[in-house]
Chains A and B, each alone.
Chain A
């Protein structure tokens, strides 16, 4: 029941401080939020059900649409799940290419996140730089895969094609161009007092609460825990390369956005190392005819570290040419529903966008 001094406010899908097709019903008293109820479902397309009607290979164009900003980790996890159930090995070079490709996607996704956050706070200059730098990464993807946003590059058994001629140099050149601008980003945005004042202490979550609510990714690392699935349970070529996991202590929006910046730099260094270590050889182990491919009975749970946190897949096969059950555990699901509702309780109305975007939520990932 709404009391007399409370007001119900619909924070709708068209709002500027919104992360996409998503809305919240807020119960406010003055400008203080008493209760927040998340309303997902605007983008519910029932992919998990649709996938039960399509063959194993036909599902690739579907899965990458689950996360529009970073479709690559979803491709990776679906390919990993299929490989695990079917028992397929992949060549060494493909592992390295997958890692490089995923790290490029992480940098692109973080730049997009930076754009959204800086734009929301009114730092238009830094936001436009981030958008431009994401664009030149998309150029790399276009050359490698033919698509800018959806790539469908990782296949069970490896990757679709090898790096084209001179592609290594292009990656290095692009990343140097982005890395050279980090001091500019720092001057314009990260070391700006306005950023500190607007983000410090906003949407703070304690380490205990974060664990209790199943957080991962930046949200957990901002509370001081070095929890990264690339380290805990390495996949692709992450066990062969040395990298650091940046953390912060405070658990607030300020810490989360700084981690995004530090992670981006770490990813760029990792790509340089991986490019040097890359062996020669095949990039794809032949898999059976996709039209007749039947995968033996079995089930698997696999997970990767996407740019937003822990991404998992529970896959069940009953020996047919189609999956029997697919269920994605997406990071935005835990960050965008239980954690968001908790953090908004007691917050100020003007901080809703700030909290949401710093949690790094993306709506299509919640709905699937």
Chain B
């Protein structure tokens, strides 16, 4: 399937989707958070059956989180296997909630658990949002931009960093 044709089809089926083709067949789609499930299932039916990664970016100045889904295809000898769809949905930072994509992609479970633990995003529909990596609880989820690692270790371990010593 041709990439331009696919893009046209997405634009026809879904309104409010902003799409842009980057270098090396990377298609960037900006969608509303309510649309993600529909678009992901549409893409899966069109051959994009490999969810490579779910990521999260903390845009603290805009007061938003951006959930990023990266999809590609397992079809060999097809243009789609070289194409990556980078689908991005913005959610508010105050009340970070989004639908889980578990009904569509089975391997999303652990990515969602990781983002829940490190960013505090709640994935509705994922019943296994239990801690994955971390040992203790943090007031601010540690991968958020307002969590300062230096400040935290200073307060928690009561130690002064050698870097600061040198600055004095």
A residues engaging B (CB < 8 A)? 40-41, 44, 46, 48-50, 53, 84, 211-214, 225-227, 232-233, 299-301, 303, 310, 312, 314, 316, 324-325, 327, 329, 333-334, 337-338, 367
Contact = CB atoms under 8 A, between A and B. Distances in A.
B57 to A, nearest CB: 5
B135 A303 contact: no
B3 interface: no
B132 A232 contact: no
A275 to B, nearest CB: 28
A226 B76 contact: yes
Contact of B106 (A212, A227, A329): A212
Contacts of B132: 40-41
A41 B70 contact: no
B50 A214 contact: yes
A327 B53 contact: yes
A300 B23 CA distance: 9
Contact of B76 (A212, A227, A312): A227
B50 A314 contact: no
Most A CB within 10 A of own CB, among B24, B55, B131: B55
14 contacts: A41-B135, A49-B149, A50-B149, A84-B23, A212-B106, A212-B107, A214-B105, A225-B76, A233-B82, A300-B22, A312-B53, A314-B53, A316-B57, A337-B110
B84 interface: yes
Nearest to A333: B110
Contact of A324 (B50, B57, B81, B106): B57
B156 interface: no
B26 interface: yes
Interface in B2-26: 22-24, 26
Give the top 6 A-B pairs by smallest Cβ distance, nearest first: A41-B133, A214-B107, A44-B133, A329-B53, A327-B55, A337-B110
A232 B76 contact: yes
A310 B72 CA distance: 12
A204 B84 CA distance: 29
B43 to A, nearest CB: 15
Interface of B: 22-24, 26, 28, 49-53, 55, 57-58, 68, 70, 74, 76, 81-82, 84, 86, 105-107, 109-110, 131-135, 142-143, 149
A222 to B, nearest CB: 15
B52 A367 contact: no
A53 B134 contact: no
Contacts of B133: 40-41, 44, 367
Q: Which of A53, A227, A232, A312 has the most chain B CB atoms inside 10 A of its CB?
A: A232
A219 to B, nearest CB: 12
Contact of A48 (B49, B53, B105, B143): B143
Contacts of B81: 232-233
B44 to A, nearest CB: 11
B50 A211 contact: yes
B76 A314 contact: no
A3 B28 CA distance: 49
A324 B55 CA distance: 13
A49 B52 contact: no
Contacts of A226: 76
A113 B53 CA distance: 25
A213 B74 CA distance: 12
A226 B110 CA distance: 26
A232 B73 CA distance: 10
A44 B55 CA distance: 17
B26 to A, nearest CB: 6
Given A48-B143, A325-B57, 7 more contacts: A41-B133, A44-B134, A49-B143, A84-B24, A211-B49, A211-B50, A334-B107
A301 B149 contact: no
A312 B57 contact: no
Nearest to A87: B23
A128 B68 CA distance: 44
A232 B106 CA distance: 24
A303 B51 CA distance: 13
A213 B110 CA distance: 11
B88 to A, nearest CB: 9
A211 B134 contact: no
A225 B55 CA distance: 27
B30 to A, nearest CB: 12
